Structure 1
């Protein structure tokens, strides 16, 4: 399924958090949203999974305005793993993962054999099967994050949006989760702060600064030393990964320059 953001603008209290964002994510493509804190990444994602209504513009799913879909139909197409995923009720891990089937069910009908197998497979993929009978409130932050990722997969979406999904995860589980996304065949829009992980995971990167899209392209096109300096205010040397050839950044601890605004500096290369 193709995901398109068309002229997406979000204004709050007279301030534009996202400005006329145009971005295409092709079917089966993994696109990473990167940028400094407060650049509008999470706000853009909230519009995709309909937690926030844009002031202007639209989110299109295969050319159809998602705002015109019933919420249930939208949830069958788009799943989200957000920063705000909390758990107030102490469901078991198995129960929490099974909640991903809710958009596909009517009332309180029991899971089918296929759905139980789907839940078991997702828990195995995210390495939480051994926690199936534990309450989610007893889990560590990383364990809970993996449970919620399994729930999103169980939803069987065609589009998956994730906001900093590697938060709380150790190195092994970061790599496993991002490898799973890369091989899932889903259309994925993901916010990542680790630029090296983003370069290794994403087909393309889109860079936001103060709500505006300032660069988009494959990781080698986007992650130049000049752009990293101008957008993030840090000095970096870009080198190829010795095994994969993906761009990797080696950061300098020298003092950073102020981050310029798009209005004062113009668009980035």
Structure 2
């Protein structure tokens, strides 16, 4: 039987965090967070360690249920969707991606197609091509037959990013995806995210990369949204000082005009060596 003809990629969904509140053991980790990620746009979450970024993302990929509020995909409550439908709609690259099973890189990437296959249905020509293309885009095609446990941290991170991409989600959620990556692969990954046309919600620690990659940025501190807007609107010296406790000079990038932050080691944050 011939493979089905290629299907168009699903339309990106509008993602909305609607009054999201998460409390665990009596401690509020996220407080009344309302933020929209526009369809087909890249939205970043930035903030100090412990500000609630990863907790908010866990609600989007259903690893955690909010105490109050909702995550909405095109105005549908994500928790009301069947698990299989939400697995097709949302793909995640998380910080907890360790695997003790020594699958090959090719097998790990192919797992991204699982929500779209039925039972023991074998991947067809389209699935194999999606995997090949994603691995080429993430520069891991040459690692296809390597066991994932033999890969470096950066190589494994790129394999897992390819797995998320082949899922063809309406929303792609990434928690610090540039971890372990050298600068070339950081730029390659973030550039790819901008070209996918998928709705992207991404946590980044590097504010300069966030400014270059994101259409909009939400800033969290102590579980609360303190600012949201374009990188130029949000990444001001005053906000960086108030939220991150460091002094920065903000200059426009000479090619793109994106704000770029300059720091000085001669003026470390107060109270630190």
Which residue does 1:266 correspond to in 2?
none
Aligned partner of residue 4 in structure 1, secondary structure: strand
* Pairing 1:240–2:252 present: yes
Alignment: residue pair count: 258
What per-residue deviation string (whole Å, max 9, x for no partner) do you get for residues 98-152 of structure 1?
A: 0001101111211111111111101100100000000000000000000000000
Which residue does 1:136 correspond to in 2?
148
* Pairing 1:203–2:215 present: yes
TM-superposed CA distance for 1:252, in Å, is 2.5
In 2: Cα distance, 1:55 partner to 1:37 partner:
21
* Pairing 1:256–2:256 present: no
In 2: Cα distance, 1:155 partner to 1:220 partner:
32
Task: Note the residue ranges of structure 1 that are not aligned, 5 or more in a row.
Answer: 259-269
TM-score by length of 1: 0.95
Which residue does 2:230 correspond to in 1?
218
* Pairing 1:193–2:218 present: no
TM-score by length of 2: 0.93
In 2: Cα distance, 1:256 partner to 1:126 partner:
36
Q: List aligned pairs for 1:77-92, cutoff 5 A.
A: 77-92=89-104
What per-residue deviation string (whole Å, max 9, x for no partner) do you get for residues 68-116 of structure 1?
A: 1111110100000000011110000110000001101111211111111
Aligned partner of residue 127 in structure 1, secondary structure: coil
Which residue does 1:58 correspond to in 2?
70
What per-residue deviation string (whole Å, max 9, x for no partner) do you get for residues 43-63 of structure 1?
A: 000000000000000000000
Contact 1:11 1:17 in 2 (8 A): yes
Q: List aligned pairs for 1:142-181, cutoff 5 A.
A: 142-181=154-193
In 1: Cα distance, 2:121 partner to 2:244 partner:
50
Aligned partner of residue 130 in structure 1, secondary structure: helix
Q: What's the Cα RMSD here?
A: 0.8
Aligned partner of residue 228 in structure 2, secondary structure: strand
Contact 1:145 1:168 in 2 (8 A): yes
| 1:113 aligned residue (105, 117, 125) | 125
Contact 1:229 1:257 in 2 (8 A): no
| 2:87 aligned residue (58, 70, 75) | 75
What per-residue deviation string (whole Å, max 9, x for no partner) do you get for residues 143-197 of structure 1?
A: 0000000000111101000000000000000000000001110000000000000
| 1:36 aligned residue (48, 52, 62) | 48
What per-residue deviation string (whole Å, max 9, x for no partner) do you get for residues 197-238 of structure 1?
A: 000000011000000000000001100000000000000000
Contact 1:234 1:252 in 2 (8 A): no
Aligned partner of residue 207 in structure 1, secondary structure: strand
In 1: Cα distance, 2:242 partner to 2:261 partner:
15
In 1: Cα distance, 2:36 partner to 2:183 partner:
30
